[in-house]
Amino acid sequence: MKDRAAFDLLYRQTSAKLFGVCLRVLKDRGDAEEALQEVFVKIWTKADRFAVSDLSPISWLVAIARNHAIDRIRARREPAAYIDAALDVADPAPGPEAMAVAGGESVRIYHCLDELEKDRAAAVRGAYLNGESYAELAERHGVPLNTMRTWLRRSLLKLRECLER
Amino acid sequence: MTLAEENGPERGGDDLFAAEYVLGVLAADERQIASRRIEADAAFARLVDRWEVHLSPMAAAFPETEPPIRVKEAIDRRLFAQESRPGLWSSLAFWRGLAAAAVAALAIAIALPYVNPPVVEPQARLVASLAADGSDVKYLVVYDAARRDVGLSLVSGERAAGKDFELWMIEGKNAPVSMGVIPAGQITHMAVTPAVEQKLAQGAVLAVSVEPVGGSPTGQPTGPVVAAGDLKGI
C-alpha cells in the first residue's frame, strides 16, 4: 500500500510534464494517453535503473517518456502530419520556462546551439522536441536524406566539442 | 576534415550513434539496435546517458498538460489490480518491491526544486532476497543504513516448535557474524550493532540458520542454513 502512495505522489508531480512530452511527439491525444500509460508502467518496472543514470529524476523520467513516444511514432506506418510539425518549427529560441530553469550547466546547450548556423540549430531542436526522423527532416527541409544526416551529424559533433570545452 | 577524424579514433562511431539515438532522428530498426545495445553494453549506455544529460535542458520547452483522469485509472488497474494477493512470492513481486522503493526515493527527490538536482545515495538502502534450495523459508530484507535498521519480511516458511531463526552476516571468506535471533512474525525489525554496521555493505551475504531457542550456543551456526542471499543496492 505504501508503494501505491509513492506512485500516486510520483504521478501527481510528473504526469503533466510527461503527458506534454507524449503530446508534442505524437500529436494525437488518444495516442498520447496510451503512451503515457505505457510510460508509467515502464517507469514502475525500470525504477531500479535510475541509480545508474547521471540524470536528475525529472530528466530521467522525461527521457523515458520521450524515447517511448519516439519509438511509438516510428512504429506508425505513415509519417506524422506535417502541418503540425511545420507549426512547431518556429520555436528555436528558449522560452521563458527554459530560461527560468536555465542556470549554470543548463544554459550551456543553448549557448552551444547559438554557435551553430540558425537552420542547423533549428533542426537539432526540432528533432529533439518533435522526435522527427532523418527521413522526415529531409523531406521538410527539401534535401536528400544523406545530406540531412551529414548536416545533423556535423552539428552534433560541433555541439559535443562545445559542450565539453 | 572527415567525419571519422572529427569523431576521434578513441570513441569510434558509437558516441555519434548514441547522440543520434538521444536526438531521436534514427529510423525504427536503428532505434531497436540502439535499445538492445543500451541493455547489453554498459559503455554504450553511458554514452547515451551523457547525451541525455547534455540535451535534457531543451526538454524545458515541453509544455505541461494535465492528462485526463482515465489515464491514471487505467494505470492503476494495470499496476495494482493484483497487489492484495497475500503471501504470494514470485520474483516479479520482489522486483516490484525494489522498484517501489526506488520510486519512493524518486518521488522524494522530485519534490525538491528541479534546479538543484539531489545527490542520490545508492548505498543508503540495501536489499536482499533470502532463499535456498530445498527450503521453503524465504525472507525479503531491507537494510536502512541511516537508521541502522534491518527490516525483515517473512515471505514463506515457518520455524519448527522449539527452534529459532538466527540471522548471520558473511563478509568475504570470514566466519559468519551473528546479527541476532530473528523475532517471530511476518514483518520484524532488528537493530544493527556498530560492529556489524561497519561490515554491512553491498555484496555481504546474509543467511538464516535454524538454531535452538534463543540462538546458537556456540556463536557460530549450528543448524542448517534455510535461506541466504547477498545485499544489493536498490
Dihedral sign, CA of A103, A108, A114, A117? negative
> What's the CA gap between A159 and B185, in Å, rounded?
58
**pLDDT bucket at A141, cuts 50 / 70 / 90:** confident
> What's the CA gap between A40 and A20, in Å, rounded?
14
Those residues whose C-beta lies under 8 Å from the C-beta of residue A124, and which sit 6 or more positions away, are A113, A116, A152, A155, A156, A159, B23
- B23 contact A CB<8A: yes
**Interface size between A and B, measured as CB pairs under 8 A:** 226
Condensed to tens digits (0 to 9), the pLDDT of residues B96-117 reads 555 666 666 666 655 544 444 4
Cell digits for B86?
497475500
Condensed to tens digits (0 to 9), the pLDDT of residues A127-138 reads 999 999 999 999
- Between helices A118-130 and A2-26, what is the axis angle to 10°? 130
Model pLDDT, residue B7: 44
Report the pLDDT averaged over residues A83-87.
41
**pLDDT bucket at A7, cuts 50 / 70 / 90:** confident
Residue B1 has pLDDT above 60, yes or no: no
Cell digits for B93?
513481486
Nearest alpha-carbon partner for B208 in B111, B144, B108, B139 = B139
Helix (H) or strand (E) holding B101, with range, is helix B91-111
Nearest alpha-carbon partner for A92 in A130, A121, A134, A128 = A121
Residue B21 has pLDDT above 90, yes or no: yes
The identity of residue A88, as a single letter, is D
CB contact under 8 A, B114 and A124: no
- A162 contact B CB<8A: no
B23, B30, B144: best to mutate for the A interface, most A CBs within 10 A: B23
Query: In angstroms, what separates the C-alpha of B73 from chain A's closest C-alpha?
Result: 9
Nearest alpha-carbon partner for B67 in A83, A65, A129 = A65
The DSSP secondary-structure symbol of B141 reads: E
Measured between beta carbons, the chain A residues lying within 8 angstroms of B34 are: none
Tell me if B114 sits within 8 A of A106, measured CB to CB. Answer: no
| Average pLDDT value over all residues in chain A | 81
* Residue B116 vs residue B83, higher pLDDT: B83
Cell digits for B60?
524545458
Condensed to tens digits (0 to 9), the pLDDT of residues B40-58 reads 999 999 999 999 999 999 9
Find the DSSP H helices in chain A: 2-26, 29-46, 57-75, 82-87, 96-101, 105-114, 118-130, 134-141, 145-163
Measured between beta carbons, the chain B residues lying within 8 angstroms of A93 are: none
Residue B84 has pLDDT above 80, yes or no: no
- B121 contact A CB<8A: no
**pLDDT bucket at A48, cuts 50 / 70 / 90:** low
> What's the CA gap between B163 and B18, in Å, rounded?
57
Cell digits for B110?
522530485
Model pLDDT, residue B114: 45
Measured between beta carbons, the chain B residues lying within 8 angstroms of A111 are: none
CB contact under 8 A, B16 and A153: yes
**pLDDT bucket at A23, cuts 50 / 70 / 90:** very high
- A111 contact B CB<8A: no
CB contact under 8 A, B62 and A98: no
Nearest chain A alpha carbon to B53: A55
Nearest alpha-carbon partner for B51 in A110, A55, A62 = A55
Tell me if B110 sits within 8 A of A14, measured CB to CB. Answer: yes
pTM of the predicted protein model: 0.58
Of A97-101, A157-161, B11-15, B188-192, minimum mean pLDDT range: A97-101
Query: In angstroms, what separates the C-alpha of B181 from chain A's closest C-alpha?
Result: 27
Model pLDDT, residue B101: 62
Residue for grid cell 555519434? B16
Condensed to tens digits (0 to 9), the pLDDT of residues B152-207 reads 888 788 888 889 999 999 887 788 889 999 998 877 888 888 878 888 877 788 99
Interface of B with A in 83-102 (CB under 8 A): 83, 95-100, 102
